[in-house]
Amino acid sequence: DSGVTQTPKHLITATGQRVTLRCSPRSGDLSVYWYQQSLDQGLQFLIQYYNGEERAKGNILERFSAQQFPDLHSELNLSSLELGDSALYFCASSVGTSGEDWETQYFGPGTRLLVL
């Protein structure tokens, strides 16, 4: 168990809908990352937050957005869903500051999204 939690584990929805994925980082971690794993694209970085602020953006679609709250949990919002958005979405967290192992990312169990 990495200490990173994600809910829900599975999500089935229809095209055009909107969903919210939730992530709670490890205790003490300030950085949260979101990744998408699909068969054709592999593992791709979406977005990073550090202590409530957006730090870096990757291949995140405009239909997707995220935020990190004061208690450091994060939510990834996916809207106007398409069939191609079906994937496994991972959240990872790291300490994000100085110290031993501060940059290492620990992954949650993922949310499996199926868009029908």
- Residue 96 and residue 51 in contact, taking contact as beta carbons nearer than 8 Å: yes
Can you read off the two tokens belonging to residue 103? 């940059």
Q: Does 56 bind another protein (CB under 8 A)?
A: yes
Selected binder of another protein within 11, 19, 35, 81 (CB under 8 A): 35
Selected binder of another protein within 31, 68, 74, 93 (CB under 8 A): 31
CA–CA gap between residue 114 and residue 8 (Å, rounded): 12
- Residue 115 and residue 81 in contact, taking contact as beta carbons nearer than 8 Å: yes
Selected binder of another protein within 49, 64, 89, 90 (CB under 8 A): 90
If the CB atoms of residues 66 and 92 are measured against another protein, the closer one turns out to be 92
Of the candidates 30, 106, 97, 38, the one whose C-alpha atom is nearest the C-alpha of residue 68 is 30
Q: Which stretch binds another protein (CB under 8 A): 13-21, 55-63, 64-72, 76-84?
A: 55-63
